[in-house]
């Protein structure tokens, strides 16, 4: 049996630089009866690097997390210590682990967290876009397509906090274009890649410039995007809202989408925008 009381241990692992490994990480893995991880080969190499004899490794990814949850719960109930690790960073944050943690918490078992690097936080504090308030929102990966993607992008229109997103290199240009369309081409962004590694890079500029750069320099590696929050808007007059509604409708938006977009952009009540839409229809 593992060392200590039966529990789930969520282990943060390096996002690129093995020098960020803490002594507690090695202790947590050494104490575990089972390690559930995204890639058993990758985690096996990490265990070998820190000199820990690999216990049983279970594959825990987005496809297996739901079905593996009951097994992990049963193991803990039988007195075992189960560690969960993602390929890089903190389990549960755009990585598997959240469902298992929820299941274990609901069952009343102990959950221990071994802190580790979090790419979003690393990019955020180095971006130069974090405000003095320290407030931000973490969006992870946007939905890849369809109504879910469009809805998520609309939700960001009036977001005043600094935003942090993840994106794969082959989708970066499209995502930057979509963000520029809904947030404005001049909104500032930091593109962060290879964080904590030898060739770490942070590029800063507008969303429009970032999209153009993708055409000149092929994106490589996983990216963290840090996007400046929406500026504070003056109180919107009916005339301003009507002008924005007309512009959105002219651009091809449906009445519903135009109303949602303008209401979120100016932070006004949806009923007020709907009333103005009715006036436009009557004019």
Domain check: are 13 and 113 in the same one? yes
DSSP 181-226: HHH-TT-EEEEEESTTSTT-EEEEEEHHHHHHHHHHS---S-EEEE
Residue 165 contacts residue 187 (beta carbons within 8 Å): no
Supply the CATH number for residue 11's domain.
3.40.1010.10
The per-residue pLDDT for 217 is 94
Same domain for 68 and 16, yes or no, is yes
For residues 113 and 16, membership in a common domain is answered with: yes
Instruction: Verify that 23 and 46 share a domain, yes or no.
Output: yes
Residue 134 and residue 37 in contact, taking contact as beta carbons nearer than 8 Å: no
Residue 112 sits in the same domain as residue 130: no
Q: Which residues pair with 59 in a beta bridge?
A: 37
For residues 55 and 33, give the distance between their C-alpha atoms in angstroms, rounded to a whole number.
Answer: 6
Q: Is residue 37 part of a domain?
A: yes
Do 210 and 252 share a structural domain? no
Residue numbers of the domain that contains 190: 120-227
* Residue 79 backbone dihedrals phi, psi, to 5 degrees: 100, 10
3-class secondary-structure state, position 157: coil
Domain boundary among 59, 91, 117: 117
Structure tokens at 77: 């109930």
Query: DSSP string spanning 48-90?
Result: HHTT----EEEE-STTTHHHHHHHHHHHHHTT-EEEEE-SSB-
CB 124 within 8 A of CB 163: no
Residues 6+ apart with CB under 8 A from 54: 35, 44, 47, 48
- Say if 232 falls within a structural domain: no
pTM across the whole model: 0.81
pLDDT digit string (tens) for the chain, length 283 residues? 556 799 999 999 999 999 999 999 999 999 999 999 999 999 999 999 999 987 899 999 989 999 999 999 999 999 999 999 999 999 999 999 999 999 999 999 999 999 999 999 999 999 999 999 999 999 999 999 999 999 999 899 889 999 999 999 999 999 999 999 999 999 999 999 999 999 999 999 999 999 999 999 999 999 999 999 998 777 789 999 999 899 888 888 889 888 988 888 788 888 999 999 988 887 7
Of 85, 117, 149, which residue constitutes the final position of a domain? Answer: 117
Contact 193, 201 (CB under 8 A): yes
Q: Do 222 and 247 share a domain, yes or no?
A: no
Judge if 15 and 107 occupy the same domain. Answer: yes
Task: Give the separation between CA 140 and CA 166, rounded to whole angstroms.
Answer: 5
Note whether 195 and 242 are same-domain residues.
Answer: no
- How many domains does the chain contain in total? 3
Do the domain assignments include residue 1?
no
Same domain assignment for residues 209 and 142: yes
Edge-first strand listing for the sheet containing 136-141: 136-141, 162-167, 223-227, 188-193, 201-206
Are residues 188 and 199 located together in one domain of the fold? yes
What's the pLDDT at 236? Answer: 85
Q: Are 102 and 188 part of one and the same domain?
A: no
pLDDT at site 173: 96
Please say which residue of 64, 90, 117 terminates a domain. 117
Q: Does residue 2 belong to any structural domain of this protein?
A: no
Asked whether residue 209 is domain-assigned, the answer is yes
């Amino acid at each position: 049996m593992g060392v200590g009381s039966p529990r789930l241990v969520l282990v943060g692992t390096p996002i690129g630089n093995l020098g960020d490994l803490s002594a507690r990480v090695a202790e947590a893995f050494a104490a575990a009866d089972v390690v559930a991880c995204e890639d058993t080969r990758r985690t096996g190499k990490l265990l070998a690097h820190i000199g820990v004899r690999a216990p049983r490794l279970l594959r825990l990814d987005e496809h297996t997390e739901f079905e593996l949850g009951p097994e992990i719960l049963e193991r803990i109930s039988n007195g075992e210590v189960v560690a969960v690790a993602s390929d890089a960073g903190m389990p549960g944050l755009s990585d598997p682990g959240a469902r298992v943690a929820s299941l274990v918490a609901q069952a009343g078992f102990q959950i221990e967290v071994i802190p580790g690097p979090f790419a979003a936080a690393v990019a955020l504090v180095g971006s130069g876009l974090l405000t003095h308030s320290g407030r931000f929102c973490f969006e992870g990966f946007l939905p890849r397509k369809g109504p879910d993607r469009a809805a998520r992008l609309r939700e960001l229109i009036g977001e005043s906090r600094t935003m942090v997103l993840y994106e794969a290199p082959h989708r970066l240009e499209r995502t930057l274009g979509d963000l520029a369309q809904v947030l404005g081409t001049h909104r500032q962004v930091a593109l962060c890649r290879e964080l904590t590694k030898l060739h770490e890079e942070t590029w800063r500029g507008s969303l429009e410039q970032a999209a153009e750069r993708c055409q000149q320099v092929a994106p490589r590696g996983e990216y963290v995007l840090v996007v400046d929050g929406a500026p504070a808007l003056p109180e919107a007059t009916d005339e301003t809202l009507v002008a924005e509604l007309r512009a959105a409708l002219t651009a091809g938006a449906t009445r519903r989408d135009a109303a949602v977009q303008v209401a979120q952009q100016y932070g006004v009540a949806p009923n007020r925008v709907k009333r103005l839409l009715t006036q436009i229809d009557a004019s």
